[in-house]
Structure formats: structure tokens, C-alpha cells
Structure 1
Amino acid sequence: MSPTVALVMYGWIPIVLYLFTRYSPPRAVIISFVIAWLFLPQAAIVLPSIPDYTKMSATCYGILLAVFVFDSGRFSTFKPGWIDGLMALYCISPFVSSMANGLGAYDGVSSSLEQVVSWGLPYFFGRLYLSNLAGMKHLAIAIFAGGLTYIPFTLYESRFSPQLHRMVYGYHARADFSQTMRMGGYRPTVFMSHGLAVGAWMMAAALVGIWLWKSGVLKKYWDQPMKTLVPVMVVSFLNCRSTGAYLLLVFGLIILFLGSKLKTYIPLIFLVVFIGTYLYMGATGYITPDRRDSIEEFVTKTLNAERAQSLIFRLENEELLSEKARQRPVFGWGGWGRARVYDDYGKDISVTDSLWIIAFGNQGAFGLITLFSTMIVPSFLLCVSRYPPKVWAHPLAAPAVCVAVVTILFALDCVLNAMPNPIFTLSSGGIAGLVLKPEPLRKRVPKRKPAGRSLPRRRQSIPLASP
């Protein structure tokens, strides 16, 4: 580990504490997560008895300490609801799997602790600080700002190859460079684990920026008009050369614009049903070799042969891993690589590209269902029942709605990739709080003035579904 990595990783907790003295706690939480995710190194420091020390665990530890020191009363305001049970079940799923496989309580506790740090704490911080429309607005703007900040770095690496992590921290973020060349140029990685993660992040920033602009939430940012910043953001996103992220942006735009114009959430329902159907078919072994051939032919005609080969490679490995997982379908195989597939000589012959197959293999259907429920259920309920399509473009609701749509798109990305992003887990926590206790939307509506009199404006509420 280079001195720069050690300095940044161990110095991050004091910086998080400083952020809590400089900003309000909700903004400090958001800033801590975004900066850490975008700029801290890809490193995992092994520590005894606790999960590996990574940039996200360092952030969670720092925020937890800061809340105890500067805002301890906040804990008493947290009131768990039924929807929080989904994340709680996912966090204990490794313990259940370890016990079901005879790996022992110690293995189960340590595995669950790692899940709590990776997923539970970001969700909890979202519930604690972002469970209101103001908090979701701050998060939406931070996602857009994070995308703008990444523009010069992605442009540099798309021209000169992924080198920034090596230049700053002394080593490459990835040892495998086989997927860096795309569409006649380099796919940037910057300080993330993979170019696909960068593509998904820039997709989220572009979609959020478009919706904040079109809904009137932001007209200017950084003293620049949004009509200039948003096209620059979109072009920079396209330069990330991630075909899957391109499709995610298209899906997001269809859901938001078509939904708000026609006052319908049918496109959103279609997306959620598609995710559930794909997971069901993958987990039950429905995608047979014959069906894979049909999929390959369709993708080749629709996109190109290279994308088709990449998809088929994933499906072939998912078929192997799913067959192994179905031997223990309820609680999975537990950890230690037991869910992977080995040949007669003990060589690992499987590749886990997708988050869903990792969850299904390790924690079975129990872990798979609870994982995707934490990403989909809060956001779906927010957009369908709490803030329906007729208010999606309302300036107060628009930030929360677009973040919710981005979170569901992230769940779709996890069907094909394994690029967890704790910022979207943070958003799930805030969205869950809004589902449990939605805030009313109000707008100022002038009343007619009788002759010779001047009446004050009165606030009028837009009716919403009851919580």
C-alpha cells in the first residue's frame, strides 16, 4: 500500500468529522458519500474481526462517529417501519445462510456485519437524514454535481486510457484491461472499480440533470445555465462508451417524460415486471441454450455482434451458477466461494458478472428477493402511490421522483452487472422514509381580487394518496 493510499484512507474519517462541523448533517452525509465514491482509491485494508476497510466502510464509520459526536439526538427520532424490514432481512441473510450450511455462528455474524456495513449503514443514514423532500433534493443535486465534476476526468481517460488511479495512487484500479477499448476509444474508469460503474454513475447524473432542468428545480448551477450544463453532461456521458448505460438513460427518459405527460406509471410498471421476470427465469433455469441462441440473434440485429457475445457469455455463466444455486435454493451456499462452479481438478470455471447471481448463490432466494426488494419496493411505491405521475414534474416532488427512477434503473443494472453503488442504497433509505411519511406538496395559487380589495395569496395543496 502506497503512502498516498494510507494517508487518504486513514485520513478520511477526520475529514468526515470536519464536514459535519462545516455543513448541516444531511448535507455532510451526502458530501461524504459522493466524494468518497468518486475520488477515494480502490483499496481494501484487512483488519481483524471487522469488515475490510474500504472507502465506503471508512465513510460509514466516519459518519457513524460524527452522528454520535455532533448529532446524537438524531437516533431518537428514528422510528422503524414495515418497509425497513426488507433491508433488515437482507442484512441477516448471510447469518441465516451460514447457519443453514453448518458454517457456524461466528462465520454468520462476521458475514452479516460485512453486509450491514456495505448495505445497512448507507440505508440507515438515508432513513435518518434524507427522509424528506428537501433531503432528496440535496441528494439529486449532489448526483448531478458529481457527474459534472467527473467530466474532465472522463474526458482525459477517454483520450489517454484509464491512468488517473495509477497516477494518483500508484496502481491501476483494475488489473484487467480487456474491456477498456470500446467504440474506437477508451472507456474511462477514473477512481471507480470498472468503466461500467462510471457509465452507470454518469447516466444517473445525466438523467437527474435533465429532470431537474425540465421540472424547473434548477435553472442555473455553478452560475451557469442548465440549458448549457445539461447538454455538456449528456455528451460527456455518451463519451463513457457504455452501451448498457445508454439503454438505462433511454428507459429513464421514457418513464419520466411519458409518465408525467400522460399521467401514467405503466412504463415504470413494465420495467419492474421485466426485472422480476428476468430474475425468475434466471433463478429457475428458464434460459436454456435454445433460448440463448434466440437472444443472441435478437441482440446482434438490434445492437451489434460484440454486445451479443458479451451478453451470451454472461448468460452462459449464469446458467452454470444458477444450476449450482438451485441445489440449495432457499438460503444458498453461504460464503467462501462455495456457490461457484469448479471442474474435476478444483479449478474455478465460473464468472460472476451479475449481482443477482452472487446473491442467489450465496444467500439463495431469501437473499435475492430481499436484496432487490430493498432497491425496488420503496422507489416503486413512492412513484406510484405517494407521488403519482401527475406530480412527477412538480418542483418539490421532481428530485425525489427522479432519484427513485434512477434507483430502479440501478436495480436493472444489477441484473447484468455487479457494481454496487452505496449512494443508491443511501437514496433507498431516504425514499423509504418518504414512503412511510410522505410530505404534502403545496403551491401558491393567486385568488381573484375583488374590486377595491387586495387579498393575500393562499396555499393550496395538491391531493396525494394517504400514507
Structure 2
Amino acid sequence: MTGNIFSYFVLFAWPAVVIFLFVSRPQNQALIWSVLGAQLILPEVTSFKIEMLPALDKNSVAVIAPALACTILASPKVRQNNQWGLTEFLLATYLVCPLVTSSFNGEPIILGSKILPAAGYYDAVSASIIQLLNLLPYLLGRRLLGASPDTEQILRALVLAALFYSLPMLLEIRLSPQLHHWIYGVFQSSFVNEGRLGGFRPTVFMKNGLAVAFFLLTSLIAAAMFWRIRRTVFHLAPGWFVLYLGVLLVLCKAVGALVYGLILVPVVRWIQPRRQIQIAMALVLIALSYPILRAYDFFPTDSLVETAKEFSVDRAASLKTRFDQEQQLLVHASSHFFFGWGRFGRSRVYDEYGKDVTLSDGRWIITMGTFGFMGFLAEFGLLVLPVLRVASAFHRVKTYQEQSLLAALTLIVGVSCIEQLPNDSLGPWMWLIAGALAGRADVLRRTKKPGMSHAIPVAPASQVM
């Protein structure tokens, strides 16, 4: 299940696309579209493995090519190092965790006829390299996308990408998710998982229908923000795009993304930016404290299941199964609490015959089981910290328009953190925008508090990318 020849051609041709973007577009736009475009276009499943190196696949190509382009083309001023601080400590912890984890998991696990290999030094180095690749978009976003215009470019890119992506999405909603199979020769998900309410979720070229729906949700939040500040897109009022993308989100048949949208779109459109920042803070703090809440049974799992029953018995049963599985994995992870069990399936739960009896959908429990609580704190801390720092420096934002833009991006990062509790959707694009938010927070913290301007100018057509 690796795809056809064309899928490999597209994968290895992407660096040429990235070079073209960096040559023909401003550096910030080139970086944004090289990472976002890879998420939307490159094939899933297809990969090329070289011994001793991480596999070249959609995610690794999406970060290596822009990183090399930025290293070569970025000005010396942009590449200056930041002072050591909490962010740098979290970055170092994120990279070092696999090394410590491997040192505590040097023995194989024998489960009947099944043997899970020990986490040796080779695995430690390999895992650290993968962690470094994960961080590259974050580092690039922090260094290159910290200015106020960069925030608008990110949000505008989300809206434009969703408008273009809506066409293949509508095709798959009508015909079933087939584009990835037709073009790349392999179906990246399963019809069982994507079938809903007598139809199908669109997957296009992304991991699954949930990933597509969540991408659409973030684009809808961005469109609502442009509606708020009366900034046109393609010479049209953004309210029409909010309506169009909202209807499309309903057609995606993803309950979680739809609930997020029903709550956050009105928030972005009508609630003051400072209140939006507070909501984003609440979201990321819930995500960061979730393992402790689950471990001490403070999270209202039973209430959520009962509430879900009012809408769908099947969805309630699915939610209960998810909570039960999380609890099993959390109990197993608690025996290697701080640094986890390592890779190779060691963090999962097996029966006496060596059969895997658990499901791990959420990013948080995957990270907790693999690299322990320290790995979780490092990973989620890098996502949470920019939101908290933006909140503390929000009074330094110059204009009401900039506040609205920054609040929308902060909410997107906040809801993305919450999304990592039930699902695993953390990829290069999410790391990039989290890094951009961290860079914006760094800039604001070095800026003196200005007077507030409430001007909300309408962008000319030349600003539409």
C-alpha cells in the first residue's frame, strides 16, 4: 500500500515547487504555501525509506524542502538566535526525551509468541531525528512569520486554500472519496471509517475525513475573522464565504468539527478579541491538564457520554469506547510515567496471547505512552506556551484590526490543541502556525505598549493573494 509511480513523482517533485515559490513569491508567502500546499496535495501512505534515515514521506518532504530553502535564502538578520528561555527548554526536552526513554527501555517485552524489541541507541537517535523534523516548521514559523502581516497571510491562505479545496471535496461528497485512489493509486483511509449518514466524508489527499473537516473548520474561523474586519476576498464580502464554507462543513459529516464551528465562528465574528484570547487560553489549559484530569478522574466522561446519547446512541457508544481505551492506555503508561515505553508498540496494551487490545486515537495518549509525561509536556507545552504569551502581551497590539487577526490565529491554535485529545492531527502545518504564533508573541514582548487605534481599513484588491 504505497501508491503508484505518479505518487512518487509528485512527492519528489515537491522540492522543485518549493524552490519556485521561494523564487517567485515573498519569503513569508512561499513558506506558508510550501507547507500548506504539501498538506493538501501530496500523497498519503507513499514513502521512500533509506537505511539509518527517517522515511521520506508527505510530512518529511513538507518540512525538509522549505527548511533548506529558508536556510539558503533567509537573511542573516532573520536567522539570529533568540535568547535561552522556556521555549528553548521545551525544544531541548522534546529532542532529548527519546534518548532518555530509550535508556529506560533497554529490555525486550515478551508477550506469548510476540516479542516487542528493546528501545536501543539506534532507536533513540532515529526518534530524535524524527522529533527534529517535527520541530522544523515550528522553528521556521517562529523565525520568519512573527510579524503582524504574516498573521494575515496565514489566515488568508487558509481561506483561499479552502475555496480551491472545496471543489474536490464536493466531488467526493457526491461520488465517494476516490480521488486519492484515482490519482495516487491507493486509498489512504477506509470506506467503513468515512461512511456517515448514508454518504461519505471527503478525504481528497489528506489522512482521513476528520483531517479534511478540521482543516475546513480552521479556514471557516479565518473567514469569520475577515467578515468581522470587513476585509474582502476575491472582491467579495467574506460573509458569503463563511456561509459557503459553513454549509460545506455540515456536508463533511464530522460532528466534532461541526460543534467547534458552531461555537467558535460566532465567537470570532461577534465577541471582542480580548475575550477570544481568554477562550483560547481556556482551551489550551484544558488540553495541557487533560492527562492529570483523566488520571484522577476529574474529567466528566460519564456526563459527556450521557449528553451524547441524547443525539446518537451509536456516537455515545463510540465515545465511551474511546474513554475506556484511553483509561487502559493511561494505566499502562503510568508504570513508565515520566519517559514512557518508547516506540515499536511498547506503549500499547496486549492480552496474554500478544494480541493488541487497545485503540489509541488521541495524540496526547500516543505521546504519553511513547515518551511519557515529560514528552507530553514538551510537545503540548510548545503549542500552549505561544497562546499564553500572546495573552500576556496582547495589550501591546497596535490596532483593533491586528487584535482581531491575532485572536483568530490564537483560537485556531487553541482548538487545534483540543483536537489532539480525541484525534491525532498534529502535522507540519499545525506546527508552522504554532511557531508563527510563538514568533508573534516574541515580537510583542519586545514591543512597548502603544496607543490603541480602532481603524478597520478595507484591503484593496492588490492585497488578495
Please tell me the TM-score bracket, short chain as reference.
0.7 to 0.9
- Residue deviations 1:151-196 (CA, integer Å, cap 9, x gap): 111111111110010111111111x322212233211111011111
Q: What is residue 72 of structure 2 aligned with on the other side?
A: 69
Q: What is residue 160 of structure 1 aligned with on the other side?
A: 175
Q: What is residue 392 of structure 2 aligned with on the other side?
A: 385
Q: What is residue 194 of structure 1 aligned with on the other side?
A: 208
What SS does structure 2 have at the residue aligned with 1:151? helix
Counting aligned pairs with the same residue, the percent is 27
> What is the CA distance between 1:403 and its match in structure 2?
1.1
Q: What is residue 92 of structure 1 aligned with on the other side?
A: 96
Q: Give 2:219's aligned amino acid.
A: A
| Deviation larger for 248-257 or 352-361 | 248-257
What SS does structure 1 have at the residue aligned with 2:401? coil
Alignment of 1:449-464 (within 5 A): none
| Aligned residue pair count | 436
- Residue deviations 1:192-238 (CA, integer Å, cap 9, x gap): 1111101110000001110122123x2x2123332322211221122
**Alpha-carbon distance in 1 for matches of 2:360, 2:275:** 39
Q: Give 2:393's aligned amino acid.
A: R
**Alpha-carbon distance in 1 for matches of 2:450, 2:250:** 35
> What is the CA distance between 1:34 and its match in structure 2?
1.1
Kindly indicate whether residue 237 of structure 2 is the aligned counterpart of residue 237 of structure 1. Answer: no
Kindly indicate whether residue 224 of structure 2 is the aligned counterpart of residue 210 of structure 1. Answer: yes
Query: Which of 366, 371, 383 is equivalent to 2:379?
Result: 371
Query: Which of 294, 297, 313 is equivalent to 2:321?
Result: 313
Contact 1:285 1:319 (C-alpha < 8 Å) held by counterparts? no
> What is the CA distance between 1:21 and its match in structure 2?
0.6
**Alpha-carbon distance in 2 for matches of 1:409, 1:263:** 15
Kindly indicate whether residue 163 of structure 2 is the aligned counterpart of residue 148 of structure 1. Answer: yes
**RMSD of aligned Cα (Å):** 2.5
Deviant stretches of 4+, over 3 Å: 253-259, 261-270, 291-295, 390-393, 439-446
Q: Give 1:410's aligned amino acid.
A: S
- Residue deviations 1:95-153 (CA, integer Å, cap 9, x gap): 221122233333211101101112x1010110121011111111111111111111111
Kindly indicate whether residue 258 of structure 2 is the aligned counterpart of residue 246 of structure 1. Answer: yes
Q: Give 1:349's aligned amino acid.
A: V
Q: What is residue 120 of structure 2 aligned with on the other side?
A: 104
Q: What is residue 131 of structure 2 aligned with on the other side?
A: 115
Report the CA distance shift for 1:7/1:350 in structure 2 as closer, same or farther (over 3 A): same
Report the CA distance shift for 1:163/1:260 in structure 2 as closer, same or farther (over 3 A): same
Kindly indicate whether residue 410 of structure 2 is the aligned counterpart of residue 408 of structure 1. Answer: no
Q: What is residue 297 of structure 2 aligned with on the other side?
A: 286
Contact 1:279 1:415 (C-alpha < 8 Å) held by counterparts? no
| Deviation larger for 354-363 or 432-441 | 432-441
Q: Give 2:63's aligned amino acid.
A: C
Q: What is residue 437 of structure 1 aligned with on the other side?
A: 443
Alignment of 1:419-430 (within 5 A): 419-430=425-436
> What is the CA distance between 1:444 and its match in structure 2?
6.6
> What is the CA distance between 1:67 and its match in structure 2?
2.3
> What is the CA distance between 1:260 and its match in structure 2?
0.5
Report the CA distance shift for 1:27/1:341 in structure 2 as closer, same or farther (over 3 A): same
Q: What is residue 19 of structure 1 aligned with on the other side?
A: 21
Report the CA distance shift for 1:109/1:182 in structure 2 as closer, same or farther (over 3 A): same
**Alpha-carbon distance in 2 for matches of 1:414, 1:122:** 18
Kindly indicate whether residue 288 of structure 2 is the aligned counterpart of residue 299 of structure 1. Answer: no
Alignment of 1:323-338 (within 5 A): 323-338=331-346
TM-score (normalised: structure 1): 0.87
Q: Give 2:233's aligned amino acid.
A: Y
Contact 2:34 2:62 (C-alpha < 8 Å) held by counterparts? yes
> What is the CA distance between 1:411 and its match in structure 2?
0.6
Alignment of 1:24-39 (within 5 A): 24-39=26-41
**Alpha-carbon distance in 1 for matches of 2:436, 2:364:** 23
Q: What is residue 223 of structure 1 aligned with on the other side?
A: 235
| Deviation larger for 313-322 or 84-93 | 84-93
TM-score (normalised: structure 2): 0.87
Q: What is residue 60 of structure 2 aligned with on the other side?
A: 57
Query: Which of 147, 162, 178 is equivalent to 2:192?
Result: 178
Q: What is residue 12 of structure 2 aligned with on the other side?
A: 10
Q: What is residue 460 of structure 1 aligned with on the other side?
A: none
